[in-house]
């Protein structure tokens, strides 16, 4: 596309990101001093596995709904078939949330914003998914090290979302065209700010995202295998729809 249309797409994606991010980076950074006390951490650790899963699933579903709104505001997304819009969101919404989450991660003390305060991995101990939690924190830590600007987070999450390799896409070529427009816009933006080196590091991040999300599905499946009936009552319908083979 011409530079003009590429710049228009960049502006549209950055605007969509700003409008659909729940918290601004400034707000999240201003809250870094609010860290869970020893007692609050112990309270989380004495919660049941079910309750902790439910709280995390609700928080994630909340963030995912903002990602759905982000997608709908990206020029071209609503021109895709309903089927393909759902395939892209089913495959990419958690990936986008996990990238966005790095904005709420404090690399100085390894804490993340959760339910109003910052806490370390120990907050999530009762989940019984220490490997997944540890990987999420490592991912956030490594993404923070890239010092992505909001513009870069916006464009990177749009590239992650519009992945033409998602299984079950009907019009793969149409998604591939939209993906390449966003990719060109992202590359132009990075080149202009002499940030080309970030591109190669981000491609590794997409591989880590893929394994994080399949680990999430694995842990969810084994959690539900032990409590087959619980899923419908425990989790928000959208979470159930996105992450189980319901
Ligand atoms: C994302 C937009 S934002 O405005 O930056 C924003 C907007 C809101 C928040 C607060 C927030 O919801 N933090 C939170 C929520 C859930 C989780 C979490 C917990 C456990 C799991 C594994 C479990 C399902 C087995 C997963 C996964 N997968 C994710 C986390 C964190 F990943 F850190 F543990 C943090 C933080 C920033």
Task: For 2-21, write each residue's pLDDT tens digit.
Answer: 777 899 999 999 999 999 99
Residue 1's pLDDT is: 52
CA-proximal residue: ligand 1, atom 16 (nearest): 56
Element (H, E) at 103: none
99 Cβ contact partners less than 8 Å away, ≥ 6 residues apart = 143, 153, 156, 157, 160, 205, 209
Q: Decide if 194 contacts 14 (C-beta within 8 A).
A: no
Supply the pLDDT for residue 230. Answer: 75
Ligand 1, closest atom to CA 105? 33
Cα 84 to middle of ligand 1, angstroms:
26
Predicted confidence (pLDDT) per residue in 137-153, tens digit: 999 999 999 999 999 99
| 0.90 surpassed by complex ipTM | yes
Q: Which of 80, 77, 74, 98 is nearest to 19 (CA)?
A: 74
Q: CB neighbours (10 Å) of residue 203?
A: 9
SS3 192: helix
Answering whether pTM is above 0.90, one says yes
- As for ligand 1, residues whose beta carbon falls within 6 Å of it are 21-23, 56, 59-60, 63, 97, 100-101, 103-104, 112-114, 124, 127, 129, 132, 136, 216, 219
Residues in the chain: 246
Q: How many CB atoms lie within 10 A of CB 109?
A: 10
For 24-34, the pLDDT digits (tens) are 999 999 999 99
């Amino acid at each position: 596309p011409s530079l003009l249309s590429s710049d228009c797409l960049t502006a549209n994606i950055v605007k969509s990101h700003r409008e659909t991010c729940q918290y601004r980076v400034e707000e999240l950074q201003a809250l870094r001093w609010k860290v869970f006390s020893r007692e609050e951490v112990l309270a989380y650790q004495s919660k049941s596995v079910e309750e902790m899963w439910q709280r995390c699933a609700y928080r994630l579903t909340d963030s995912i709904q903002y990602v759905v709104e982000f997608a709908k505001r990206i020029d071209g997304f609503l021109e895709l078939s309903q089927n393909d819009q759902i395939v892209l969101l089913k495959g990419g919404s958690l990936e986008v949330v996990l990238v966005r989450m790095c904005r709420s991660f404090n690399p100085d003390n390894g804490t993340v914003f959760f339910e109003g305060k910052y806490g370390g991995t120990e907050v999530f101990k009762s989940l019984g998914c220490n490997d997944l939690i540890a990987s999420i924190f490592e991912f956030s830590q490594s993404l923070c090290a890239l010092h992505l600007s909001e513009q870069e987070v916006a464009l990177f999450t749009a590239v992650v979302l519009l992945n033409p390799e998602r299984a079950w896409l009907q019009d793969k070529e149409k998604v591939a065209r939209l993906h390449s427009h966003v990719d060109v816009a992202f590359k132009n933006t990075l080149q202009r700010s002499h940030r080309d080196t970030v591109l190669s590091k981000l491609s590794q991040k997409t591989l880590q995202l893929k394994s994080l999300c399949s680990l999430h599905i694995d842990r969810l499946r084994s959690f539900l295998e032990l409590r087959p009936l619980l899923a419908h009552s425990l989790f928000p319908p959208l979470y159930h729809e996105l992450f189980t083979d319901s």
